Amino acid sequence: NGGTLYYTDTDSVHASIPLPKEMVSGALGMMKLEYIARNAVYLAPKVYGVELFREEDLIKFKKDDGKFLIKIKGSKKGHGVNLNMLDNLLFKETNHTIKQDKWYKSFTNSTVNIIKTLYTLRHTENKRAIIYLDNKFAYTVPYIIKDNVKIKSRLAEPSHKL
């Protein structure tokens, strides 16, 4: 319907327009509207920040410390990352390291160990090739596997127009 899809995961969609009403409800298997964002930065899967738009979203996410919601896989509040930092990480060859608690479960020993670890925030080309414009992340293109060799899609060629 003319919108832009910014981010998707197994249980979420971030888009520029609302989903069709028949797709949104509280029923099992349906999507629900979590929040409306004014601005957002998507660095990697499960690593993003949004500027919340509606007062009700600020209350829902208990954002008495500001209007920004930062999601970093495996990390809780207190990581010190903000939207500006995520935006700066979109530049080529930049990264930022945070401390996070990693849970290691042993079913054999019936134990859970929590170990402090370092996690480096950066964009990677693990699943898709990154295209930079003026040294800043612009978009990604799929890899093509040919003869067991991973190569960039022809969409990555500078002469190709989207």
Q: Give me the tens of pLDDT residue by residue for the chain, a chain 162 residues long.
A: 678 888 888 778 888 888 888 888 888 888 888 888 888 999 988 889 988 878 787 777 765 556 888 888 888 776 789 899 999 999 999 999 998 888 889 999 999 999 999 989 998 888 888 889 999 998 888 888 888 877 766 555 554 444
- Chain centre to alpha carbon of residue 64: 23
In whole angstroms, give the CA distance from residue 66 to residue 150: 43
Can you read off the two tokens belonging to residue 157? Answer: 């060629």
Give φ, ψ of 154 to 5 degrees.
-65, -15
Q: How many residues does the chain have?
A: 162
- Strand ranges across the sheet with 136-146: 128-133, 136-146, 149-152
Residue 129 buriedness (CB in 10 A; 0-12 / 13-18 / 19+):
middle
Give φ, ψ of 120 to 5 degrees.
-95, 120
Residues forming a β-bridge with 130: 140
- Strand ranges across the sheet with 68-72: 37-44, 47-52, 68-72
**CB 99: neighbour CB atoms within 10 A?**
12
Dump pLDDT digits (tens) for 31-44: 888 888 888 999 98
Amino acid present at 1: N
Contact 30, 17 (CB under 8 A): no
In whole angstroms, give the CA distance from residue 121 to residue 91: 12
